[in-house]
Amino acid sequence: MASLSYDLTLAGLAVGSAAALTGIGLIVTYRATGVLNFAHGAIAMVCAYVLRQLTVEWNWPLPLATAVTLLLVAPAIGLLLEKAVFRPLSILGSDPAQTLVASIGVFILLVGGAALIWGPGAKADAPTLVSTEPWAPLAVTLALAGAVWAVTRWTRFGSELRAVVDNRPLAVLSGIDADRVASVGWAFGAFTAGLTGVLLAPFVRLDPYGMPLLVMEVVAVAVAARMRSLSIAVAVALALGVAQSQLTRLHPSGWAEPLLQALGANLFVVALLVTALVLPGIGSQNTLPRTATARVPTPPGAWIVAAVLFLIPLGFAGSDLTTSVQVPALAVILLSLVIVTGRGGQISLGQAAYAGLGALFTALLTAGRFPGLPELPHLPALAVAVLLVAPLGLLTGWPAINRRGLALALATFAVGVGVSRFVFAQPYATSGLTLDRPAGFDSDRAYYVLELALLAAALLFAISMRRGRMGRALAAMRDHEAGASAAGVPVRTLKLTAFVAGAALAALGGGMLGMGLRAFDPAAYDPVRGLLWFAAVVVLGADSLLGAVVAAALLVGLDAGARGGVAAALIGILAVLVARVPAAAGWSRRLSLTPLGRRARSALPPTSHPPARSPRIRPWTNKLSRPPTRLPRSAKGRVGSAYSNGGGAGAGAAEARETSLHEPAVGGAREGTCRYVRPEHGSRHSSPEAPKRPPDDSEDGHTGAAPPPNRPRREPPHPLTAHKITATYDGFTALDSVDLSVPPGHITAVVGPNGAGKSTLFHCLAGTLRPDKGRITYDGKDITRTPAHARTRLGVARTFQQLAVFPSLTITENVQVGADQARSKHPQDRQATTQALRLLDLHHTTTRHHPAADLPTGTLRRVELARALAGRPHTLLLDEPAAGLDTAEVAALARVLRALAADGMALLVVEHDIDLVANLADTVHVMAAGRIVTSGPPAEVLHRAAP
């Protein structure tokens, strides 16, 4: 027994050593370059094939072949990838989502290339590099880990590596050649991949698909080490290896046996699931907004051409028709990625799992083997399978709530691998399972017709998800999650909805594929296929329904018509190119992950610093330089724009009255006239703190105090109020028992030096930070625990210091998102978008249909404000609204804000621009060291606060 345990421990150490090598390689590459190399396993596989080629096919001596493979080929692959793929990406300033797509592209390219060169079958004659004695790989691993540790600790290169990892731009400024560091990181990472591959090859199946996946399953050891600590990675790998082999000693009876067997064979997958789903996400959390999709209109007639092409197979016969049967099914699966990734912006590498579950459940239901459910005919079984798989979408939807970018990619990949290993690969789930086509659709032609009908239904469903309110909300979430939440979009619920809808579509496609193939074939839903499908959808336009349909035809066509591996290699090359040369050609504009990222960045201010005032003259600022003109007071059907209205920064309340707006549709006291904002919320002077503004002298006599006759009168809400709120960051008190009220009809400003706590207070009021103590109330209700989107829906809107617009949406759509979320059933509220656009002078037909990605900062500030106003808020929170605006733009902004306050809205402005505050605010609160130190009218307070 003792000897068995010893032997198992040694065997476990051997497995653990290979995993540790992978962990070391992944960590070094990640530390040197910031890239989690999804292609690591594929490099391992290629190196194993190269060694086999040199020794078995060409009869080279093993030592020479090993030296060439590990010291030349592997580092050369790493250097090539760094130079040709990842360095250009870092020069382009790409975000992690792009590098992720590139590394998945490299993975698929290498897998496809290996299948092309060496064939898809497994090779059983890979040379054995070291003895089967496990001490050898263990010694290699420990020596390598020690060497890496020593190099990073004691050499100049090591300190350069640490400097680049800590702050690459600073390291470059201090003279470090960051590219050289990255090159060495890639060469070393590829060397460890090669070493893993050649050590593992004799003991596992050497095939293009299985081995890369096997290596990537052990990514858990690097994630457990937070992509940082080599010693933790090695320890975790060895512990998992030993535990996995010790599990084989246990032989429980009954249902536990297959489960334990599965665990014993897949402990690294369990670790992957735990690390990816339970531990907090690794990598940047800031990636997804850049995965927004460029808006490229589908060429006219393209759908007709596609429909005709999809009808052509009806004229086929024999194997061609049998092959064609896979196309509509795969198209439905890929449509699920359009919803989740293309429209919803959520990276999902696990869709193959849902497709496979759809097929498996259909097979189980038709065989009467699904626990608790009767045997069903095929089509009802497919429908029930879809319904059963849909909620399982929460498996990936749940982690998506708190994860983005790389962390989400890992979590969804883990779910895909977990389902594949613990469900599809297990005999208890799949043995003896058959699947056939529905009665009456047995022939290929009849079944193809049925599939076309199901594809049409899936397309209609996908269209409904991408259109209207739902489509805009998904796109808003994809483009800017915090911005979407601020517009009232319930981001958590929407993510879950996207994943559930995606799982349902994938299950439908998977079931169709299974019935088409007349079998449940686990290989058809392998996680590697999930990666291939993801890349294919991204390459052909992630947010394009037509792209998904074309991708399905391309993948099936290439698989059937060309050598195995061509499809993967082609998609891999395209995925690399998408990230590598995003704007090289017109077609690249439809590729979702890259071009917009760059365009959006060029349109948005830098993320870490307030942007410089823009020197550009824009049409609407030119208007401001014209002499003041009064708005047409009761021009029926027209709403004046404060931006197109004249006036300067110093204009006062009288000017504010001029910019009060007249819009028949809103329902003023008299037909044809009314103010812009929430006519129901009462007098702008309702607050006792409100300054005495001159009475309104508008021609129509409407002051905004009277509610529209056709709407229920509503008393003005109690103001948004902070009651003794305290907020801390890791024990540091950023807000200390702060009281603040934001009364209606009043502009309240918060000023103070850097670090005073202004932003923290703003976040507490907006709902993006929960105070440790104290309460926030609004309209008499405690909203301290109310999330940001729900506060928006209650009537507390906000704008951002760093712009939060949705670059893939047009100006109108951006504003509509705000209106969608707050829209009541009242028909008058349908005018909210139009009114907001007019108020901010965004209503011209030339601009309103323009995608926000290409617009200058000043315009985007107006778009953001219009979106906030379209939700008809009672209270508006503005975080440095003048950041990035030139003088004329600031003056125009001030005029609008005064107009809004004159109409009774409560405004809170956190602002560094003291001139603006002095001219704008009714009350100023000065903060210092987390407290409000003084409050009062600006003239008094700012004078007192001046040094």
Contact set with ligand ATP (CB under 6 A):
729-730, 732, 734, 752, 754-760
Query: Tokens in use for 53?
Result: 């080629």
Q: How far is the CB of 743 from ligand ATP (least distance, A)?
A: 22
* Shortest separation between residue 922's beta carbon and ligand ATP, angstroms: 21
Closer by beta carbon to ligand ATP, 697 or else 730: 730
Asked whether the CA dihedral 506, 37, 495, 834 is positive or negative, the reply is negative
Closest CB 603 distance from ligand ATP, rounded Å:
23
For residue 748, give both structure tokens.
Answer: 């309240």
Q: Give the nearest distance from C-beta 752 to ligand ATP in angstroms.
A: 5
Q: Which is nearer to ligand ATP, 93 or 755 (CB)?
A: 755
Shortest spacing between CB 529 and ligand ATP, in angstroms:
41
Q: Could you tell me the smallest distance in angstroms from the CB atom of residue 755 to ligand ATP?
A: 4
> Which of residues 154 and 729 has its CB atom nearest to ligand ATP in the complex?
729
Which of 219, 756 has the CB closer to ligand ATP? 756
CB 733 → ligand ATP: shortest distance, Å? 8
Q: Tokens representing 212?
A: 């890369």
Whole-angstrom distance, CA of residue 172 vs CA of residue 98 = 22
Shortest distance, position 730 Cβ to ligand ATP, whole Å: 6
Q: For residue 652, give the nearest of 940, 878, 898 by alpha carbon.
A: 898
Q: Minimum Å distance from CB 438 to ligand ATP?
A: 57
To ligand ATP, the closest distance from the beta carbon of 451 in angstroms equals: 52
Residues written for the chain: 947
Contacts of 73 (CB under 8 A, 6+ apart): 47, 50, 194
Q: What is the DSSP string of 281-334?
A: PPS-S--GGGG-----PPPTTHHHHHHHHHHGGGG--HHHHHHHTHHHHHHHHH
**Which residue, 77, 185, 108, is CA-closest to 577?**
108
Nearer of residues 326 and 759 to ligand ATP, judged by Cβ:
759
The nearest distance, CB 484 to ligand ATP, in angstroms, is 21
Give the nearest distance from C-beta 769 to ligand ATP in angstroms. Answer: 9
Give the Cα separation of 173 and 331 in Å (integer): 49
**Helices 267-277 and 256-265, packing angle to 10 deg:** 80
- Tell me the C-alpha distance between 533 and 545, whole Å: 14
How far is 14 from 134, CA to CA, in rounded Å?
5
User: CB-wise, 389 or 878, nearer to ligand ATP?
Assistant: 878
Residue number, 176 or 764, with CB nearest to ligand ATP: 764
Q: 662, 631 in Cβ contact below 8 A?
A: yes
Give 809: exposed, middle or buried? Use CB within 10 Å, 0-12, 13-18, 19+: buried
How far apart (Å, rounded) are the C-alpha atoms in residues 272 and 213? 12
The string of DSSP codes covering 735-782 is EEEEEEEE-TTEEEEEE-STTSSHHHHHHHHHTSS--SEEEEEETTEE
Looking at the Cβ atoms of 507 and 756, the one nearer to ligand ATP is 756
Nearer to ligand ATP by Cβ, of 138 and 945: the residue is 945
CB of 738 to ligand ATP, least distance (A): 11
Nearer Cβ to ligand ATP (121/755):
755
Residue (435 or 909) nearer to ligand ATP, CB: 909
CB under 8 Å to 760, separation ≥6 — which residues? 727, 734, 735, 769, 930
CB 926 to ligand ATP: min, Å: 11
The CA distance from 644 to 629, in Å, is: 9
Q: Tell me which DSSP letter residue 432 carries.
A: T
Q: Distance between CA atoms of 815 and 805, rounded to whole angstroms?
A: 9
Residue 523: Cβ within 10 Å count: 11
Helix, strand or coil, per DSSP, at residue 397:
helix
141 vs 759 by CB, closer to ligand ATP: 759
554 closest CA partner among 531, 533, 575: 533
d(C-alpha 728, C-alpha 317), whole Å = 71
Measured from the CB atom, the residue of 710 and 754 that comes closer to ligand ATP is 754
From the CB of 226, what's the least distance to ligand ATP, in Å?
19
Q: Within the chain, what is the greatest distance between any pair of CA atoms? A: 100
Secondary structure (H, E, C), 518-565:
CCCCHHHHCHHHHHHHHHHHHHCCCCCHHHHHHHHHHHHHHHHHCCCC
Q: Which is nearer to ligand ATP, 456 or 612 (CB)?
A: 612
Q: Of the two residues 262 and 910, which places its CB atom closer to ligand ATP in the complex? A: 910
